[in-house]
A and B are shown apart, each in its own frame.
Chain A
Amino acid sequence: MTPLVTPTVWQLFTGFSAVALSGFGGVLPITRRTLVEKRRWLDEAEFVELLSLGQLLPGPNIVNLAVMFGDRRRGLPGALAAVAGLLTGPLMVVLTLASLHQRYGHLPMVQHAISGMAAAACGLLVAMGVKMAWLHPKNPRTVAVALLAMAAIAGLGWPLLKVLLIVGPIALLWAAREER
């Protein structure tokens, strides 16, 4: 195993920019491949640790991971550089695309293309939910909590805060009873 490399603040910016700009449909897989395998900035164990903590916390997982990793290596400037790298380039790209859409969106051909893209993107999100539900261990608790959350939002149209305040405690207390 090659030894680990400690990135500079600038390298944190460019490194996270590079993974963000080459990651389509979620940046997580390419982040692991680039930072763990290619650049050797951290090892597998630390990556898993940061990711599991990032998933536990609210907010975008990959942003949380970048914040914690940048902070560990270079303190606050490192954390800011990593997040700025992750967001700046993709923000320019996505806003350019959206501006083009605004300018040319009235053309019938663009409208057809966009509605086709939207149908495919919608399918990707549905598949993501189905895959997560399918791969997750199924027991009465997980099925009940997932259905409850889904019914509260899709069926009853509850605001997220109400769902979290009512379904959240049920989910956590039930899990606490199981995980003794």
Chain B
Amino acid sequence: MHDESLWLEIAWLCLLISLMAIGGANAMVPEIHRYVIEQRGWMRGDEFAALFAIAQASPGPNVLFITLIGWKVAGWPGAVASTVAMCGPSSTLALAAGRTMARNPQSRWRRVIKSGLAPLTIGLILAAGWVLTRNTVHSWADAALCAVAVAASLYGRINPVWLIGLGAVAGVVWGG
């Protein structure tokens, strides 16, 4: 179970990640996984995957996954501390940038950063998919469900929350 004295450590981790978080919260899945599971052993892979699923099934920004990681590790103090630490530094930077940066999105260096970081972000998201798959897919039924979700979201215009609901129903039916 969780240990509230860990809230400071999880907040510190989020503080560091906040300023490295190019591509948003989903791109941070591998780094969080590396720290909380491989390095600290705070939870199992299937617990990590369950938290990701709960965050996806809830309304709101993707960053809530990090709230749940903080909650799992250090309870309510961990949830609040990790959310504030994850959003604080980047928001301060956004505040400063919003006030000082030229409003011209076509300036050369903005184009360079955008075009340079885009493929890096894609690599991070693909790695996130890989990390999550390793922690989630343990059976042919899991693999089939995962494949259906990939196909439905690539070829259909279905709201993701319905796919998660479908996953819950399929899990219960298959699981007996």
Answer yes or no: do A and B interact: yes
Q: A residues touching B (Cβ–Cβ < 8 Å)? A: 20-27, 48-50, 52-64, 67-68, 71-72, 76, 79, 83, 86-87, 89-91, 93-95, 97-98, 101, 105, 108-109, 111-133, 136, 141-150, 153-154, 157, 159-161, 163-164, 167-168, 171-176, 178-179
Complex contacts, B111 vs chain A, CB 8 Å: 179
At the interface, is chain B mostly helix, strand, loop or mixed? helix
Specify which of B19, B120, B137, B163 lies most central, judged by the most chain A CB atoms within 10 Å of its CB.
B120
Specify which of A62, A91, A142 lies most central, judged by the most chain B CB atoms within 10 Å of its CB.
A91
Q: Are A122 and B49 in contact (CB under 8 A)?
A: yes
Q: Are A87 and B87 in contact (CB under 8 A)?
A: yes
Q: Known A-B contacts: A122-B149, A136-B118. Give 20 more (CB < 8 A).
A: A24-B159, A26-B62, A58-B22, A60-B21, A60-B24, A63-B94, A87-B60, A114-B53, A117-B53, A118-B50, A120-B166, A121-B53, A121-B132, A121-B164, A122-B129, A124-B150, A132-B122, A146-B119, A148-B123, A150-B127
Contact pick for A150, options B83, B108, B126, CB 8 Å: B126
Complex contacts, B67 vs chain A, CB 8 Å: 91, 94-95
CA distance A120 to B103 in the complex (A): 40
CB distance from A142 to the nearest CB of B (A): 4
CA distance A144 to B123 in the complex (A): 10
